[in-house]
Amino acid sequence: MSDLEDRLAEVVGEQHVLTDPDLKAPYETDWTRRFSGVARCVVRPADTGQVAAVVAACAEAGVPITVQGGNTGLVGAGVPAGGEVLLSLGRLTSLEPVDTLEAQVTAGAGVTLERLQQHARPHGQDVGVDLAARSAATIGGLVATNAGGIRVVRYGSMREQLTGIEAVLADGTVVSRLVGLAKDNTGYDLTQLLAGSEGTLAVITKVRLRLVPLLPARAVALVAVGGVAEALDLLAAARAGLPSLAAAELFLAEGLDLVRGHGRLAAPFAEPYPAYVVVECAARTDPTDELLEVLGECEAVLDATVASDVTGVAKLWAYRETHTEAISAAGVPVKLDVSVPLRELAGLVAELPAAVAAVAPSARPIIFGHLGEGNLHVNVLDAQDRAEEVTDAVLRLVAGKRGSISSEHGVGRAKAHWLGLSRSPSEIAAMRRIKAALDPAGLLSPGVLLD
């Protein structure tokens, strides 16, 4: 081992500095298998003090660091470009008692979302963010990427849940604001600056989150509609008529065929439809009547199936939540996560297939996503050798509709080259000045966000 590895082993213990290629391998490739890079070593610190010492040692040696949480990210931000120390935060699993008076909790960066949900729920509280990767995605990673998921329509993204943060800066300094004051106007908000910074400004070690009341009664409808425009009519009706609205998700006929084949799921309706919306209501008492009333009055509804028991709800959600794994089982997709103003959504979905076919004629686009935010997950199968062209075509189409090239997954390595489609030159210049101020040597997650 070299001097740096020896030093890191002194900090975290030899068994937590991985240099063996077989042991490093699971950390070096992302979930999609699209991004991989060789790490110089993988370091697994156990607490904030160890993270600070690891970062300080790397800074002194001038060696760059890639920060990784649950490795469920989809834009390559958590895997090395090559030669970095891979700092894995999975052992930062401290969890403080739920503060039921403040309705907040403090969790280590490596706590999974599912673990945090299990921690909060017995106290009648819940985490405002939820997503399909809950069993592996970690709180630190969710904050670093400002993750969204299926509850944004009700509670907002990860940054809206944040009341405080503890982080290690690029020189090893620890900054900590974990009191979680509901009001605190004392200058620059470092907590919010780090949300969505994708490991480029600091290493998040702990977060303090606002919790929401646990709503145990759920009603879910899978609704068949004639297309995206009709799905939006249903969204408008749900927003106006359902104070209990907790999720509004979209998928299309092609996606349903794929998930049904993959999971051997029964057809939800006697005949196929162009598009489907999952509408979930959550409340203290059964919201089924409220949901049925809105569905009954909405002309866009062609057919619907409703469940309020745990098994029935899970069955309906499976049509939407298994999209990612069904797509992954069919191949390595070009994964694009975009959003547009809701009035542009139907046009975008209509124009996407032709835009993709123009650069990759045999590609298969699968489109699904979070209807409430106009957030589409455009997964393009059979286009691996045309990834650049497909990415360029889709992101330009989105930018032309005043959309965002990354709605909730972040920019990572995957889209750094296209940041200029969503951010102006002066904004990017300001971001670069912030990066230079906090990480002058460019050691934290090089190549991520700003290429």
Interface positions with ligand 2HG (CB under 6 A): 132, 324, 335, 377, 379
Cβ neighbours, 10 Å, residue 97: 9
Contact 105/116 with Cβ under 8 angstroms? yes
What is the closest distance, in whole angstroms, from the C-beta atom of residue 7 to ligand 2HG in the complex?
Answer: 38
What is the closest distance, in whole angstroms, from the C-beta atom of residue 139 to ligand 2HG in the complex?
Answer: 17
Contact 84/40 with Cβ under 8 angstroms? yes
- Shorter beta-carbon distance to ligand 2HG: residue 208 or 386: 386
DSSP-derived letter for residue 75 is S
Q: Which residue has the tokens 């391998």?
A: 25
What is the closest distance, in whole angstroms, from the C-beta atom of residue 132 to ligand 2HG in the complex?
Answer: 5
What is the closest distance, in whole angstroms, from the C-beta atom of residue 357 to ligand 2HG in the complex?
Answer: 20
What is the closest distance, in whole angstroms, from the C-beta atom of residue 170 to ligand 2HG in the complex?
Answer: 29
Among residues 79, 81, 119, which one has the least CA distance to residue 100? 119
- Shorter beta-carbon distance to ligand 2HG: residue 146 or 379: 379
Sequence-ordered alpha helix ranges (H) in 242-297: 253-263, 288-297
- Shorter beta-carbon distance to ligand 2HG: residue 40 or 377: 377
Among residues 184, 190, 208, which one has the least CA distance to residue 438? 190
* CA-to-CA dists, residue 390 to 244, 264, 347, 352, angstroms: 39, 30, 18, 10
- Shorter beta-carbon distance to ligand 2HG: residue 273 or 319: 319
What is the closest distance, in whole angstroms, from the C-beta atom of residue 29 to ligand 2HG in the complex?
Answer: 16
DSSP-derived letter for residue 444 is B
Q: Which residue has the tokens 């469940």?
A: 307
Q: How many residues does the chain have?
A: 451
- Shorter beta-carbon distance to ligand 2HG: residue 333 or 447: 333
- Shorter beta-carbon distance to ligand 2HG: residue 364 or 377: 377
Cβ neighbors of 21 (< 8 A, separation 6 or more) are none
Concatenate the DSSP letters of all residues of 133-172 into one string.
TTTT-BHHHHHHTT---TTHHHH--HHHHEEEEEEEETTS
Token pair of 219 as six digits: 């009603």
- Shorter beta-carbon distance to ligand 2HG: residue 146 or 205: 146
- Shorter beta-carbon distance to ligand 2HG: residue 66 or 375: 375
Q: How far apart are CA 322 and CA 33, in angstroms?
A: 18
Give the pairing type, strands 303-307 and 217-225: antiparallel
Contact 47/382 with Cβ under 8 angstroms? no
What is the closest distance, in whole angstroms, from the C-beta atom of residue 265 to ligand 2HG in the complex?
Answer: 16
Contact 221/305 with Cβ under 8 angstroms? yes
- Shorter beta-carbon distance to ligand 2HG: residue 134 or 435: 134
Token pair of 240 as six digits: 């106006």
What is the closest distance, in whole angstroms, from the C-beta atom of residue 100 to ligand 2HG in the complex?
Answer: 30
Token pair of 318 as six digits: 């499976």
Token pair of 199 as six digits: 């490991």
What is the closest distance, in whole angstroms, from the C-beta atom of residue 444 to ligand 2HG in the complex?
Answer: 24
What is the closest distance, in whole angstroms, from the C-beta atom of residue 161 to ligand 2HG in the complex?
Answer: 17
Phi, psi (rounded to 5 degrees) for 23: -75, -35
- Shorter beta-carbon distance to ligand 2HG: residue 4 or 338: 338
